Structure 1
Amino acid sequence: MNNYFVILAAGNSKRFSKNKNKQFFNYKNKEIIDHSIIKSLESKLFKKIIVVTNNLSYLKKKKYPKIISIIKGGKERADSSLIALKYLKKFKPKNILIHDAARPDFSIKLLKNLIKLLKKNKAVIPFTSPRDSIKYKINDHFFNLDRKKAFLTQTPQAFRYKILYELYRKQKSNITDEATLFIANNQKIRFITGDIGNNKITYIDDVKLIKTFYGIGFDIHRLVKDKKLYLGGIKIPFHSGLEGHSDGDVILHAVIDAILGASRKKDIGTYFPNSKKFKNIKSPKMLKPILDNLKKSDYSINNLDINLICEQPKVSKYRNKIINSISRLTNLDKNSINLKGKTVEKLGLIGKEKAIACEVIISINKYD
């Protein structure tokens, strides 16, 4: 195993942020640069990993394993690559992979494939095909480019060290990747299919992630004779209904509390106290403003898991109707709603058919 991995992380990220270099921005619970470092370590494919940066003091504080060397980079990307190549010369490497830290989503599978194909090739470059129509401009004229013939190259890019080093020594102009260097010198390249998700992070919007929050809701009401029973927003034929300041719909009340819990907005009593204003209010009317506020805050419901706890009525008989009602009220796909019926083995008020309870777990998403 005579493979070496170079991570280029010396850019100043002008297009990303004025306040922070993107390689040190938090992405999927790690700094962007650490994704590349961790994957290269976990792959166990490399004798040494070189991180090229202009923030030596910060990275050295992290106390990486000895296999990792941190060196100072240059002004341009090509300068940093050459610095790394010169540094590695003393180790007499056979193969070298050069990677941009701004691509944290490459796979270890891709690393293995690149190294495997280097056995019979001087250079192996991953690419994806463009999805958009492409135009290019020469002077004042525009031309259509056949996207079937266009390659969007990625990193890591793999090379025989000696060939890459010699080409860099002779290179005078600035280049944006090592594949450009090989093409400019009429060197043969093996292009392979890259990772679809291995996109380069350039702008702050590229790291907008979905954040998921969870909430738990619970409600219980006594059953009383000669009152209508509402569950999940629909009337259920039964000899008793649920006692409460409102219509007593334990399912929708638990859904509301779960939403408020996930969005950190206190509880149902905060918004609907036992006052004259809300006497006998229908639960769908209580749910609507809670959902409106959720939407205004850029949250969306991912799924609902509902436990209806009662001896009677049997949940299985009304499951589909209740799910369809909740789907309509929340504008949530019914396949994202689960309703389970639970009994309590005749124990307590619920077991004596004197009460019905409901608990709900919800997950909601928000783009950060």
Structure 2
Amino acid sequence: MSGTLWAIIAAGGVGARMGSPVPKQFISVDGKPVLGLTLERLMSSPLVSGAVVVLPLEWFDRGEEVIRRYSKGKPVRTVQGGSTRQESVRAGLACLPEEVSWVLVHDASRPNVSPDLVREVAEEAFKAGAAISCVPIYDALKSSNKDRVVKLTPRREELVAVQTPQVFSRDLLIRAHLAALRDNYTGQDDSELVERLGHPVALVAGSRLNFKITTPEDLVMQEALERSGYFGRGEESRFRLLRRYGRPIRREGLVSQPVRTGIGFDVHRFASDRPCVLGGVTVPDHAGLEGHSDGDVLCHAVMDALLGAAGEKDIGHWFPPGDPRYERAFSLGLLSELWKVLSCRWQAINVDATVIAEVPRISPYCDPMRKNIAHALGLNQDSVSVKATTPESMGALGRKEGIACVAVASLARRD
């Protein structure tokens, strides 16, 4: 990705179909407002750098109170919404910081958005310029006339139900909104405005759990989800919940089979003529590690663990040590490259790694290492553990001749 991605959260409506005096985005579900749930989960994505929340004028103070509590420390701006959703998104676009290059538009009343879905839609948008999440339609559809008599039965195989998040190049989305404003055209969503420009919009498999809260029945379903523990403890809790109902699935279109686990190990001697790189982080004031690439034993061990879980050949098969393309290569980049291939068939669940060395002192750098690995694999940082230990002065590592790392990775197969 080139440039920063911010979200525009459309929270400017009054929720007339809910039939509540309180707009649906401020209704409490299991002790939290819907907007708070949405903001908290959306801002958990490492790709989202900040957000603009579009609010109704009469609920501005309440909206800012929710934002302060659930923004997860990321910058959030607020702006007054318009009379239509399209006007509200246009107001959000005008409020974005100048450095933002990519825009994620999301409904405030879709609180079940996941970092995985954000990543997948964003990655498609980075390639195509525009991408949206959607799900298949399983019910028969009918078109009716004004007398409520069936006029047409469209083929559902040719249709999808569109959701948010939707991700666009900022320049493209601004052009689409300006064209709609010029033509006095109101679309059903932002992607329709982009389509009017003749620009292709990529489709990404969404989640049926990522439903939009619109009616009181939706609130009942959301309350049940919150109380089920589905969102409580990350990927593992979601696997446990869905297994209760007989199918080991995690998300429609990205269906998981039983978890597979792999182990990776790597060790390198110190080399005084290069920097010490571990997990993509340069550890200052210490000799680096020998190797055809940058000698990053942490990334190498993680790659071998992923390959083991996937039942693939080892890292040397994928990145041969004699290949000049990988000489002095940045191993975190190789990890990202490998994962782009593996992620077509596998979903990462967690990674646990232990770096073994007398020197240098690793613990001050563990968190940025975790962040790098999590970003490369599309995981939340709390799904990656990087720890450090010493060999207690025993053997070659105890004599301060190098660094070793052992890693464990768990994967689930996509359907």
TM-score relative to the length of structure 2: 0.48
Alpha-carbon distance in 2 for matches of 1:95, 1:60: 24
> Which residue in 2 is equivalent to 1:153?
162
Alpha-carbon distance in 1 for matches of 2:165, 2:98: 20
Alpha-carbon distance in 2 for matches of 1:110, 1:103: 13
Alpha-carbon distance in 1 for matches of 2:172, 2:158: 27
Give the alignment's Cα RMSD to 1 decimal: 2.1
Tell me the SS of whatever aligns to 1:74: coil
* Correspondent of 1:24 among 26, 37, 56: 26
Residue deviations 1:29-59 (CA, integer Å, cap 9, x gap): 3211112211122212222211110121112
| 1:138/1:212 CA distance change after superposition, 3 Å | closer
> Which residue in 2 is equivalent to 1:81?
89
The residue type paired with residue 82 of structure 1 is R
Residues 40 and 49, structure 1, Cα contact 8 Å, conserved in 2: no
Task: Out of 150-159 and 35-44, give the one that drifted further.
Answer: 35-44
Alpha-carbon distance in 2 for matches of 1:138, 1:179: 27
Residues 110 and 213, structure 2, Cα contact 8 Å, conserved in 1: yes
* Correspondent of 2:102 among 90, 95, 102: 95
| 1:86/1:206 CA distance change after superposition, 3 Å | same
Residue deviations 1:303-359 (CA, integer Å, cap 9, x gap): xxxxxxxxxxxxxxxxxxxxxxxxxxxxxxxxxxxxxxxxxxxxxxxxxxxxxxxxx
The residue type paired with residue 62 of structure 2 is Y
Alpha-carbon distance in 2 for matches of 1:110, 1:5: 14
The residue type paired with residue 153 of structure 2 is N
> Which residue in 1 is equivalent to 2:65?
61
* Correspondent of 1:112 among 108, 119, 126: 119
Q: Aligned pair count? A: 212
Residues 77 and 176, structure 1, Cα contact 8 Å, conserved in 2: no
Structure with bigger gyration radius: 1
Alpha-carbon distance in 1 for matches of 2:145, 2:199: 26
Residues 49 and 74, structure 2, Cα contact 8 Å, conserved in 1: no
Alpha-carbon distance in 2 for matches of 1:141, 1:26: 39
Alpha-carbon distance in 2 for matches of 1:190, 1:44: 22
Residues 97 and 159, structure 1, Cα contact 8 Å, conserved in 2: yes
Alpha-carbon distance in 2 for matches of 1:166, 1:212: 43
Q: How does 1:257-268 map to 2 (within 5 A)?
A: none
> Which residue in 1 is equivalent to 2:48?
46
Segments of structure 2 that go 5 or more residues without pairing to the other structure are 229-415
Alpha-carbon distance in 2 for matches of 1:57, 1:138: 43
> Which residue in 2 is equivalent to 1:143?
152
Whether 1:169 and 2:178 are equivalent positions in the alignment is yes
* Correspondent of 1:181 among 188, 193, 207: 193
Segments of structure 1 that go 5 or more residues without pairing to the other structure are 214-368
Q: CA deviation at 1:141?
A: 6.1
Tell me the SS of whatever aligns to 1:60: helix
Tell me the SS of whatever aligns to 1:117: helix
Residue deviations 1:114-137 (CA, integer Å, cap 9, x gap): 122222111111111112100113
The residue type paired with residue 186 of structure 1 is G
Residues 30 and 227, structure 2, Cα contact 8 Å, conserved in 1: no
> Which residue in 2 is equivalent to 1:321?
none
Q: How does 1:197-346 map to 2 (within 5 A)?
A: 197-208=209-220, 209-210=223-224
Q: CA deviation at 1:79?
A: 0.4
* Correspondent of 1:70 among 68, 78, 81: 78
Tell me the SS of whatever aligns to 2:126: coil
Whether 1:128 and 2:135 are equivalent positions in the alignment is yes
Residues 5 and 48, structure 1, Cα contact 8 Å, conserved in 2: yes
The residue type paired with residue 124 of structure 1 is A
Alpha-carbon distance in 2 for matches of 1:170, 1:154: 23
> Which residue in 2 is equivalent to 1:5?
7
Residues 41 and 112, structure 2, Cα contact 8 Å, conserved in 1: no
Residues 4 and 46, structure 1, Cα contact 8 Å, conserved in 2: yes
Task: Out of 20-29 and 135-144, give the one that drifted further.
Answer: 135-144
Residues 53 and 70, structure 1, Cα contact 8 Å, conserved in 2: yes
Residues 107 and 195, structure 1, Cα contact 8 Å, conserved in 2: no
The residue type paired with residue 178 of structure 2 is R
TM-score relative to the length of structure 1: 0.54
Runs of 4+ in 1 over 6 A off after TM superposition: none
Q: CA deviation at 1:106?
A: 1.6
